[in-house]
Each structure stands twice: as structure tokens, then as C-alpha cells.
A and B are shown apart, each in its own frame.
Chain A
């Protein structure tokens, strides 16, 4: 068998180097996605520390089983390409953190939370809650009462987890369909002892 003439030593070298670089790049992406999905990385921004507080009290942080879901386990898709894409999209949050409102301010954070929650819920809906399925399998949900198993077997057609299970980890936010911005603003103002109307002023900046 004869090697084609156009495969010279230089071409072989270039192929090998290219291949190695590609593998390196993919390995880098895997490591990058892994690291940027961690709680330590996410809470590197103070704004994320604010939403992590309720998370640390939730059953997803401290279940009796010892399984702990990190930020990325829920909020970043499976697979290196999808995960990278999610991180790229997440870049706009970084942009907002650097050049937008002062999300490190607990008041701004609380006022912005509903929109963040709605967006996150849409994200889960669009992906059929696939990140939940990393740990939770519909067939394996037994619960502690017989009804739990039956509900998950019989009443979940056409639904994914997020259809029923919201407000599990972060501060409770109503569904977008019944959300009342003005009432939310008044609640946050009262919580922080601010004058009525402060919320609108802060958010219009």
C-alpha cells in the first residue's frame, strides 16, 4: 500500500499537532465547564452569594443522602457543547454584573429576582428539565407514600419536572402569569425599610 503523495511529513505533523490541539481544547472546555459550574466559581460574584443563601438551606444542598447539587448541576446542560453554549449565554449575566445595575446590592437583587426566576423557569421548560434528570429518574421516584409513585407514573404525561416543582431552592417567586410587580416592589421596600416608590426609582436607573 502506498501513501498518497500529498501526505508529506509536514502534513502529517500538522495533522498530529492539530489533533492534539483539538483534544487539548476539548479537554480545556470540559475542565472549564466543570470549574465554571461550581458553587465556588458562581459565588465569586457577590450578587450570586445573595441567591446562594437560600440554596444552602434547601434540600438540594443538604439532603439526608449527602448528594449535593452544585449550581451547574441544575443550571448548566449536559454535554460539552451544550454546557459551553450555556456558559456563553451566561456571559451576558457577567456583562450585566460588570456594566449593569449594582446586583451586589441586596435590594436590587431582590427586585431583580422574579425576572431571573421566570427566565430560569423558561430555560428548564425548553429543555424538558433535563438537568433534573441527572439525578432524578421519573421511573425511580417512589416517595414515602404510595400516592407519590402513582402520581409520577400516571399524571405526568407531557410534563417535565419544572411543570410542578418550582420554588425548591431559591427565594419563592410566584408564577409569571399571576406575578404582580407592584406588590413585589412594595414587599421588598417594606423588608428593607425603604420608602414607597424607591423600588421603581432603583430599577429605572
Chain B
């Protein structure tokens, strides 16, 4: 035992410098693992965001009907943006293949949202779209009470809590209000309908209240019930005789018989519409994930190659610097495996340390970086970056060790096969 302890002390005393050198060369592994941990978190966050999204998630018997030329869902109507007219929607609704339909509706009206605290008010233009109650069924708390009533219920993205706090509470030096505090918060909706300075221009005021907050909304605006928007636009038409101002960005339809989907899709296409099924959504998701994978893998591949070359070079330098020593070791009776195992053991230790280090750095960046990022881009607060678990720590340590061992193995083999007479023939 005494001899073994001396051996340990001996190696620590004389080889610790080499380990330090290897540590410097293996720094790339640290970033590789940190990046790997972040990649896993981003991947799972994006997947859960897409699958949990309020408006982009389809059941197996559900289809998404879009205007023919729509590249993506446009929740706010701009001039010339494609939409499904009310007449076309009526046709779809009357088709016998569907058991239920629901919509995302929109108007070209500018809408101002006004809030007031302690006599001080703030108002801002916000994008507004309408959804049917059954579209948010079981996805939003108290979804049953989301219909056209007074005051008008409004669903707000979660990230706006910070904006509301900035606008309202901080103005009055109040402590930040929570999501619960803002439920039922009174607001005023002001519709600017038609072109200004024309007989078609009208302003409408409605009382509203915050119905709920959701992070399932990939839309930087607020949601009101579709029947409310329909009522406002009908009123506008009646009063001014203007054109129908409501159309639909998307129609969600539930089919009676999923086996008939190909026929239904073909019928809808013949009506000049674009149709997406669960399969299409899955393909789109896969495409998005593919892109994320490609970007991350490309970056990780660069880190991996740089790390391997760096570790390889560092160990190769050790072999050349200490070639005389290795040669002497062989002459004194150290077997090849003993020299090779020193390289492998040393690189495995370096890899394990960097694996664990990279894991903790990755997790640190996820918890703190995510927070900072969502402050810069509030919409990203809906994407939850979860820190990696202990299983990933184990994988990171194993992976980093394996990379280091692979990089150090070849120099180790060089060292163990070194010219044995190098030491003799000085």
C-alpha cells in the first residue's frame, strides 16, 4: 500500500504539468458539451412549443384550411393579404363532411387598447384577431366564458405582463402585478374603422377585460371572440354601407370520416383553398427541427473537430517532448499498455472534467441566458428552455471522455511504439 501511495504521489508530482497542458488543449470540449446541453434544451423547447401551440396543433381528424396563396397564417389583415371570405366560409361550413368548424378571424380596422391605473391611462395600438370558443377548448383556463359579451373578454400573451407592468404599475411606483392580479383588469377597445377623413370612417368604443393569459399563442397581439369581431364589422356595414370587413385567416375543420380526407382535401382545393392536415404539420415541424438540427450539428461538428485536433496536437507534442522518457520507460520494462493507458487515463480524466464543466455551463446559460433573451425579445418567453437532467450529465461526461480518449489514443500508440534506442543512442 505504501508503495502504491508513493506511485500515486510520484505521478501526481511529475505528470500534473502534462495534465494541465491537456486541460488547455481540451477547452473546446467544454464549449462542445455546453452547446450540446443547450441544443437539447432548445430542441425540446421548440418541439413542445410547436406541439402545444394554440393555433398550430391539429388532431388526427382535423384539417387546417388556408387561403390559396397564403405562405403562413396572417393574423392581422393587411391590404392585399389573402383571406377566406365570409361567403367562402359559409360554403365550407355547409359541407356535409365536417362535424365542426372554427375560425381565426381578422379585420382591417386599427384597434387601440387603453388601460388605466389610479387615474393615469395608457393606450397603444395592438394587433387583434378573433377565435371561436371551441378552438381554445381545454387549452385556456375558463375557456367556457370566452364569447361575445360585455365587457369583451380578451386573451393576452403572457409576455405582455412585463409590458403592462412597465406601462402601468411602475408609472405609479406600484410593485409589479402578477398574472392573477391582471385577470379581470378593465381595458377599453377603440376601433378605427374605415379610411380617415372619408364618410366611411367610424370609431367604436367597447369595454373589455383581461380574460386570461396564455403562452400558447405565437402571435404578438390579443385575441377576442370571433362573434364579437363579426358583430362590430356588421355594425360598421350597416352604418356606413361599406364592404364586408371581416374575413378568415384560417378555418379549422373536424371531419366526420378521416378515411375520406383525400377526397375532402381535393374538393377544398378545387374551391381555391390550401389544406394542411396533421401529416403536413408534422412534416413542417420536422422541417423546422431539421433546420435546428443542421445548424446545431454544424456548430458542434466544428467544435468537435477543433477539439480533437487540438487535443491530438497537444498529446503529440507531449510524445515528441518526452520521447526519450518513453523510450527509457520501455527499456526499463514498462509495457506498451502501461504507456498507452497513461495517455488514455489522463485524457479520460480531462474529458470527464470538461464534460461535467460543459454541462454546468450549458445549464447556467439556459437558466440565465433564457431569462435575458426573453427580456430582449418578449415573445421568446413562451419558449421554455428547461435545464438538462442528471442523465445528460452522465452522457456529457461519457461523451467528452470518449472524445478526449479517441484524440489521445493515437499519440498514445505513437508513444508506446517509440523507437526504443532513442534513449540509448543519445
- Whether chain B is bound by chain A comes out as no
- What is the interface of chain B, defined by CB distance below 8 A to chain A? none
